[in-house]
Structure 1
Amino acid sequence: MSELRPDWARGVRRIAVLTGAGISTDSGIPDYRGPDGIWTRDPKLANLFTLDNFLTDQEIRHRFWQRYLDHPAWRAQPNPAHQALADLSGGPAVRVLTQNIDGLHQRAGVPARKVLELHGSMHQTVCCGCGATTPTPEVLDRVRVGENDPSCVDCGGILKLAVILFGQQLDGEVIGKARAVAAASEVFLAVGSSLQVEPAASLCAVAVRGGAKLVVVNAAPTPYDEHAVEVIREPIGEVLPRICRDLLAG
């Protein structure tokens, strides 16, 4: 790609990047809907990530917390794709709109102010009663010593990761900012996302309506491929650094 830079990568000043689970698989974090995805292998696991189930079933909460005790995201390190976006963030006006909850964009060096976490962060836990937040490692320490269903130390309410579960609305302010970023972008990269989860996926449509050139980087077809100026099936960790270098070349 660097040898023959595409027209859509030339002279770009405003770039938005929507990232999904596929960008973090090279860091050892499995995706959800890919051929070997978590929910592909065991569709019933989605029950753990449904808000109504979580709030009404103590056993679901127990299984949820047990699953996150040794989640690979705690050990994961940013990979070349994350690093490439961190490099890109130092150039043109760039915003990363991520569906991921792992925090790897920030760890790679993208300034926190340039990252919108559409689905929240696994690094914080929130009380469903009073709204108090706690670093998740502190909650997991309680689980390790025998609290199957840790409750809020302030009000006794149910604790959950500060992430969006099925049946839960996205934060209105966050998705509003994301739509504004998408609408103002000149190039909109959709990287490692199945583009099946709304409203995050619809940011592609917002960008295209605003005049942006949509580029999809994903191993499998997505519902938005037909709207893209280019669809790239190459491994994300190999192709994204090249794309970012092309964009930085101006």
Structure 2
Amino acid sequence: MYETIALNIKSAERIAVLTGAGVSTASGIPDFRSSEGLWTEDHDREYYMSTDYFFHDPVDFWKKYKAIFRMKLLKNYRPNLVHQFIKELETEDREVSIITQNVDGLHSLAGSSRVLEYHGTLNRSSCPDCGRSYSLDDVMKVAVPVCEDCGAVLKPDVLLFGDLITAHDKAESIIEKADLLLVMGTSLFVTPFNLLPSLAYEQENTTTILINNEPTDKDRLFDYVLHEDLSAAITKIKENM
């Protein structure tokens, strides 16, 4: 199957790549919803990491936000084999667009040029009043970052609970133009992200490939399915390219 998957990837001209937490775990970033993930430590995490709580108590929000997302460690994480493989797929004759659930920014750090951060990013924050954007370095200089222009407490650009997802239409547009959909490292559990493979499945000329370390409820939507460690699977695919 690795040879067939490699052949399909090599022959594709427009590839849409969906990635989830499994792509980043090899870089040392925990899967927030796994048995050892941060969201399982208590049931209040979703409450605290919400837009409602941000506006209710922005000072305490930032204290908990930085602790939960281990912000001090974010700069230590580096792209891994999977990020590099996706970057290497880009050629003059092949367009590769990434739609990622991950908020760590590692796809961009790896050099991928077309990255849609479906759930936002930890690497930026914005003023909710004037919209001015600030870097991670700016945010980490103080306990509670505020806008230099208007004094409002900054809001992270990561998608909080209660925020509207604004990237879905753009994600659908990317998939509609793709002749190959490659999905990696996601359980396809979270809605509406998990609706995207159905769109490719309904397209007559789109090949669909799923690589994940365990089965998903969406396996039936794919032409080729590998239940395997991502790094191991990518290594075997590269050997056939």
Distance 1:71 1:31, change over 3 A: farther
The answer as to 2:162 corresponding to 1:160 is no
Identity of aligned residues (%): 32
My pick for the range that moved more, 219-228 or 124-133, is 219-228
Compute the displacement of 1:184 (Å).
1.8
- The match for 1:129 is 129
Distance 1:125 1:64, change over 3 A: same
- CA displacement, residues 71-128 of structure 1 (integer Å, 9 cap, x when unaligned): 43321011101111111123622111111111111221212xx111112221111111
List alignment gaps of at least 5 residues for structure 2. Answer: none
One-letter amino acid of the counterpart of residue 140, structure 1: M
Whether the 8 Å contact between 2:15 and 2:181 is mirrored in structure 1 is yes
Q: Secondary structure at the match of 1:163?
A: coil
RMSD: 2.2
Distance 1:214 1:119, change over 3 A: same
Among 108, 124, 129, which residue is 1:106 paired with?
A: 108
Q: Secondary structure at the match of 1:151?
A: coil
Whether the 8 Å contact between 1:28 and 1:72 is mirrored in structure 2 is no
Q: Within 5 Å, which residues of 2 pair with 1:1-250?
A: 1-2=1-2, 4-6=3-5, 8-9=8-9, 11-58=11-58, 59-68=60-69, 70-90=71-91, 92-111=94-113, 114-143=114-143, 149-171=144-166, 174-211=167-204, 212-243=206-237, 249=241
User: Structure 2 length normalisation: TM-score?
Assistant: 0.88
- The match for 1:146 is none
Q: Secondary structure at the match of 2:193?
A: coil
User: Structure 1 length normalisation: TM-score?
Assistant: 0.85
How many residues align structurally?
A: 237
Distance 1:31 1:208, change over 3 A: same
Whether the 8 Å contact between 2:138 and 2:145 is mirrored in structure 1 is no
Q: Secondary structure at the match of 1:120?
A: coil
Distance 1:184 1:234, change over 3 A: same
List alignment gaps of at least 5 residues for structure 1. Answer: 144-148
Whether the 8 Å contact between 2:38 and 2:68 is mirrored in structure 1 is no
In structure 2, how many angstroms separate the alpha carbons of the residues matched to 1:104 and 1:65? 18
